[in-house]
Structure 1
Amino acid sequence: MTRIAFIGLGIMGLPMAKNLVTAGYDVVGYNRSQEAIDKLVAAGGAGATGIADAVKDADVVISMVPDSPDVAGVVQGPDGVFANAKAGALWIDNSSIRPDVAKELAEEAVAAGLGVVDAPVSGGEQGAIDAALSIMVGGSAEDFAAAEPVLNAIGKTIVHVGPAGAGQTVKAANQLIVAVNIQALAEAVTFLEAFGVDTDAALKVLGGGLAGSKVLDQKGQKMLNRDFAPGFRLALHNKDLGIVTSAARSVGVTVPLGSAVAQLVNALVARGDGGLDHSGLFKLTTELSGRD
């Protein structure tokens, strides 16, 4: 049985790890909070006391943590993945981080005798629960082939998009599209409410036309209900939009809509709303319109 060490049992990491258990893998998890580890154990997995303990016998190591420094902290150092995973193990990073950092860490992984793919995911908490994530994978063809069976247990659309770092580049583009769509939806709902339209009916018909999208399907009702319980936190999308704008600037690409939405997201985070779902952009939009 393939043994998988799963590092990072958060909003998305925990259901992903559970789906790997369901698929028949031997999963041992580690998280900074014991509560998440206990939930994995209750689902049939095992718990570890630290990263070194989790990865020592693993054939595959998966990391799912918030940001570039967090990933580096997981894999580097005497207690990290590179120093403790067995030679020939495969490291899959499902986190969303800077493409340049992904490339650098991939080189370190290869030097440590590991296979490696950067495989950020899209689909939010529900996609993680349903094992229906979209996964964009960067790395060698050989390492992608090794990772694909594992990724099939947590995702629905798994595509090899290029060499190391390419997965993170495609994820950055994904986050740009999602952010702009959420803001457009927030403005549309605010507009509809101002005119007293039946918003449930309006979103139904909009969803059946060219304006339809997964963003509308998953976030429209949350806006109508003023339900901003996090499926994907604004703080994380703020981090991702920072990656987008920085990477775009480095290659001379202009992202005017993305930059504008990035400022709105940053404003929400700065005032203390970073823990809200990214559909919380609606909250700021209604306030700016004097309709909060």
Structure 2
Amino acid sequence: MRAYTPSGRQQDEATPIVSSARALAQEADILILCVPNDAAIFASAEGDEGFLAGARRGTLILNTSTISPEATQKLAERATEKGLRFVDSPMSGSTPEAEKGELVMLVGASHDDLEAARPVLGAIGKLTIHAGEVGAGTRLKLVINGIMGATLNVIAEAVGYGLSSGLDRTMLYQALAQVAVISPHHKRKLGCAEKGDFAPQFPTRLMSKDMGLLVSAARSTHSFCPSIAIADQALALSSKRHANDDYSALFGAIEKSVVKQDEPANEA
């Protein structure tokens, strides 16, 4: 593990490298977790080399990962048992926002723990939203990513219809870039799709994972989310071929499925 500055730049070669999460926790007053899923969280937390074994009483744990509500609650309980302070703080935004320091931090924590974490949260993002107690940050993040994923799927389906109906491809993408009903985020994704550039800002495998978490969470609360369930299936299918491409690769997958065989198409 190597230390980084708040801007994300790697520190100089004199920065110490530690061999395990436990060793890092033994040297730190604040730990920031940012891993892809529930399994990775507990792999870093538990066992003889996990950070729970090394963290000193009072250490502040900031989990910026997007994981399930159940995993968030379990991790918070394990941290509390060890006398640690836990802040549930997933991030909203992807590579462009991170590079510009414009992430939004979605926080579930006590007032005191939030205030202790605020300087670090402020270094990571432009805005901190206090959603409630531990777990509220995770649930808010699933709401936001559900809107992202479901909306992109609807736009991709509509683009597929437009192309199938014979609309000019360039005109279609440029028209959608101008209308108010599409968010700036999704206009950015449309721009990538128009160029066939699906370099990962938010990989499909992670969006698909988040949609799956939301569908599971919605089932546990008996929530009515059919559009989200459909988008979950679409992104799961896209992830089979485009796991490490940006989740906007769904545009390319749908476009390839509707283009006529004698027409050129960007590889999806």
Q: CA deviation at 1:141?
A: 1.2
Q: Distance in 2 between matches of 1:60 and 1:280?
A: 37
Q: CA deviation at 1:285?
A: 1.6
Within 5 Å, give how 1:1-292 maps onto structure 2.
Answer: 17-18=4-5, 20=6, 40-42=10-12, 46-193=16-163, 194-196=166-168, 198-199=171-172, 201-206=174-179, 209=180, 211-270=181-240, 272-290=241-259, 292=265
Q: Distance in 2 between matches of 1:54 and 1:275?
A: 29
8 Å contact kept, 1:41–1:47: no
8 Å contact kept, 2:67–2:138: yes
Report the CA distance shift for 1:43/1:170 in structure 2 as closer, same or farther (over 3 A).
farther
The higher radius of gyration belongs to: 2
Q: Distance in 1 between matches of 2:94 and 2:31?
A: 21
Offset from partner CA, 1:180-222 (integer Å, 9 cap, x none) = 121233234445554115246413421xx2x131322321210
Q: Distance in 1 between matches of 2:211 and 2:12?
A: 36
User: Which structure 1 residue ranges, 5 or more long, are not aligned?
Assistant: 1-6, 23-38
Where 1:117 maps in the other structure, the secondary structure is strand
What letter is aligned with 1:114?
Answer: L
* Percentage of pairs with the same residue: 29
Which segments of structure 1 move beyond 6 Å, counting only runs of 4 or more? none
Q: Distance in 2 between matches of 1:231 and 1:103?
A: 28
> TM-score, normalising length from structure 2?
0.88
Where 2:11 maps in the other structure, the secondary structure is helix
User: Which structure 2 residue ranges, 5 or more long, are not aligned?
Assistant: none
Q: Distance in 2 between matches of 1:86 and 1:185?
A: 49
8 Å contact kept, 2:7–2:101: no
CA RMSD of aligned residues (A): 2.2
